[in-house]
Structure 1
């Protein structure tokens, strides 16, 4: 499968552009349209060379609770030999442009555009851009929730093109999900999938559930139901949905509507009091 994914370039808007935008920050959801991902809001990380990033989500009161998500841009020759400083953090990398030389516990891997890697908590890994063009990838991080009697899930490397999409029942393949981790493997406490809708396909009910979501639109456009609002979104936009935020969508463009989806799964709800 040959496809392209939207990645920000930064820059700065001209003084003649209108201020009005689609950016929203509400109690149950947020929309970060691609136009807000400018040079002025990039960040840097310790021990990363020739690298900047856009922080899309981070644990914050009234915002994301379970995860953080970055779009990382690495220049030629850049990268890190000490990328993750939190020994409890697991991660997923998804490449939207360029290529990465990735090592995980001493094993070497090449991630091209569409490449996907799962990094368990405590893994030793490095990442370098050995190409002549910029590397851009999503990095989703979560504090892993261990369960006594379950091993850590192992690291794995795959790609969008290698993952067979699974159709949702009753949709004739117009709504499919590329599930990179086995949904029956309870060692995983988060899933990062790609959801694809063909033009005109819909989520035909308001999903209302416990999983928190981060959605980055890789391709296409749609009208998305977020709580009580219908919001137009397009490739390059990011949406955060808190637990139990009603959601649905109509895919409205001439081509497929695809997004990278984070959700927390397979664990008991944390309680304010622990039983003694």
Structure 2
């Protein structure tokens, strides 16, 4: 990037164990074994306080993984933001494009390959699966184009898309939440679940631990457990973000 032409500054805010806003301008490339010709930025991790790991990855034309991602008790999820990638699980290939996604259960791993003519951009996730006796999650391959967009908490100006089946075998889910300009959460949420959210579109102001923070497309937010949170959509277009949520399990002691 060369010499700076202004004072060094950042919109990022890091509160270890509580919340984080990570602006894209400060992301660096992390060398991760098994990822070839990919620009990998690790967003949330246990070093921040999260129980999962989120990545934003730009795969070059020859970008791919060279060993399985996940498995051995680790569940994984990949969402294609733009481009076209091939996801291989148990020697079966699945092609996903913008809006497509794959959930891989903890007993399997996935391999990724960019098959787009140019770069592809993906949001990647991994977490240690919390087993539940008598229940096993399964491979899910789909697209947001195939899932209904529903009113969120009976509000017609806030929409939600659920990614995974409503089945107790899954200990997490992914969603896309969309706020029309001027729309907001119905109340300030305070809950045991944590989230990792990547902003896909628009602008907003987010309340994180009672601090109002401007956010916009390509920002990443990590919300720790019990952190008060809510947002308003502002600007001329809808505010949308993809986010994870742990669910369907009691608290371990």
Superposition TM-score, scaled by structure 2 size: 0.94
Structure 1 contact 178–193 (Cα < 8 Å) conserved: yes
| Cα deviation digits, residues 246-267 of structure 1 (max 9, x gap) | 0111100211100011111111
| Residue 24 (structure 2) pairs with residue 34 (structure 1) | yes
Number of equivalenced pairs: 252
Paired residue for 1:260?
242
Deviation at 1:204, TM superposition (A): 2.8
Structure 1 contact 202–250 (Cα < 8 Å) conserved: yes
Paired residue for 2:7?
18
Within 2, Cα distance between the matches of 1:217 and 1:241?
A: 14
Paired residue for 1:3?
none
Within 1, Cα distance between the matches of 2:126 and 2:49?
A: 12
Paired residue for 1:186?
168
Structure 2 contact 70–110 (Cα < 8 Å) conserved: no
| Residue 37 (structure 2) pairs with residue 50 (structure 1) | yes
1:121-140 correspondence runs (5 A):
121-140=106-125
Structure 1 contact 53–73 (Cα < 8 Å) conserved: yes
Range moving further from structure 2, 141-150 or 25-34: 25-34
Paired residue for 2:80?
95
Paired residue for 1:156?
140
Secondary structure class of the residue paired with 2:155: coil
Within 1, Cα distance between the matches of 2:79 and 2:50?
A: 21
Task: Go from structure 1 to structure 2 and tell me whether the alpha carbon gap of 1:64 and 1:192 turns closer, same or farther (over 3 Å shift).
Answer: farther
Within 2, Cα distance between the matches of 1:137 and 1:258?
A: 16
Task: Go from structure 1 to structure 2 and tell me whether the alpha carbon gap of 1:20 and 1:126 turns closer, same or farther (over 3 Å shift).
Answer: closer
**5+ unaligned residues in a row in structure 1: which ranges?**
1-11, 272-276
Secondary structure class of the residue paired with 1:35: helix
Deviation at 1:96, TM superposition (A): 1.1
Paired residue for 1:6?
none
Within 2, Cα distance between the matches of 1:206 and 1:169?
A: 13
| Residue 218 (structure 2) pairs with residue 236 (structure 1) | yes
State which of 108, 125, 136 in structure 1 corresponds to 2:93.
Answer: 108
| Structure with more of its chain in strand, by fraction | 2
State which of 195, 198, 203 in structure 2 corresponds to 1:216.
Answer: 198
**5+ unaligned residues in a row in structure 2: which ranges?**
none
Structure 2 contact 23–219 (Cα < 8 Å) conserved: yes
State which of 192, 197, 218 in structure 1 corresponds to 2:179.
Answer: 197
Structure 1 contact 53–72 (Cα < 8 Å) conserved: yes
Within 2, Cα distance between the matches of 1:17 and 1:236?
A: 22
Deviation at 1:13, TM superposition (A): 7.0
